[in-house]
Amino acid sequence: MASVSNPPPQGIYVPVPTFFAAPSSKDFDVASPPLDLEAQTKHSLFLLNGGIQGLVILGSTGEAIHLTNKERVQLIKSQREELDKAGFKDRPVIAGTATQNIEDTLQQLEESKAAGAEYGMVLAPGYFASAASQQGIIKWFQAVADKSPIPVMIYHFPGVTNGLYIAPSTFETLAQHPNIVGCKLSHGDIPDHTLIASSPKIDPSHFVVFSGLGQNLLPVLTVGGQGAIDGLAGVFPKTVVRLFQLFQDSSAKGTTKKDLDEMRSLQFKICEGEKLVAKWGTVGIKEAVARTWGIGDKDSARLPLAGGFQGGEKEWDSWKEVYAGLKELEESL
């Protein structure tokens, strides 16, 4: 590939959940509840009005593996059009892929581009994780990036790829590809974040490093990371953006003790809220969005995920105090 692709802008992105029709709706089908594009758009605009830099559609939180290719296109196209209509043409849409073979991945990337996505976030192929070599991973991503019509980001999430490990040295190699422009690291290994984000062999103007965990945001920023693709930001966008922006502003002018105290306080509150996301994933995010802001239906999901907390009101009661505090903070920003 002759030209070098540009990465997405640094900042806070949200891996948006995919909203489905509520069980109480007339067109509900337990085998395949239809998309709820009205709730999807309402949530997307809530996020962008809260300062979110862009949306990741059809990542793990978006239940990518539960949608047909036709539904993928419909979802991406609808949100790109709604964002443009609302004046957010400058906010990128990153489309996730979660297939195991290169041809299917390329088909999804081509369809994502046609639907309006600017980037593809490609989940590492983990079916044969125990047998995959670092060289095999390198060649797999290079083959995808060679033919992808949009720039590619590497999605490293050992929790959903059979524990597949991608070494920092592998990222150093892949970061040299002109069409591979960044990564999402959805694990808590700060040393590996550091070895990628601070590597002298990686050009940060071409290859951006985003943490997939908001609870790691402040430490990741200090070692050269450029932001996060974070689940809690799907509920409290201004709060997570505030921490990112405060770090950027204070770094530019000189960090004061007051800045540091506020950043630590924000990170503490984010870590409290992220405990729900870590435990419940997309189910918890939908529950929190519905209960906190009245967007979507907390019971909407596709099998085998059961909609809503299994513990019902009792489970929510255990989070109520933390989320009420975060809502108060969010509304003050």
Nearest 10 degrees: CA dihedral of 213, 215, 219, 224? 30
| Residue count of the chain | 333
pLDDT in tens, 164-220: 999 999 999 999 999 999 999 999 999 999 999 999 999 999 999 999 999 999 999
Q: Is the pLDDT of residue 287 over 60?
A: yes
pLDDT value at 1 more than 70: no
Mean pLDDT of 307-327: 92
Single out the catalytic residue among 42, 184, 269, 286: 184
What whole-number distance in Å separates Cα of residue 205 and Cα of residue 182? 10
Q: What angle do CA 293, 297, 299 make, to 5 degrees?
A: 130
Distance separating alpha carbons of residues 214 and 230, to the nearest angstrom: 5
Task: Give yes or no: 184 in active site.
Answer: yes
Rounded-to-integer distance, Cα 153 and Cα 194, Å: 18
| CA–CA distance, 172 with 196 (Å, rounded to integer) | 7
3 pLDDT more than 60: yes
Question: How far is CA 244 from each of CA 47, 54, 90, 267, 330, rounded to the nearest angstrom?
Answer: 15, 14, 19, 10, 14
Helix (H, G, I), strand (E, B) or coil at 133: coil
pLDDT of residue 2: 53
How does strand 208-211 pair with strand 152-156?
Answer: unpaired
- Omega cis (within 30) before 304: yes
Residue type for position 72? R
For the structural domain made of 11-236, what CATH number should be given? Answer: 3.20.20.70
β-bridge partners, 97: 122
pLDDT in tens, 124-160: 999 999 999 999 999 999 999 999 999 999 999 999 9
CB 94 within 8 A of CB 119: yes
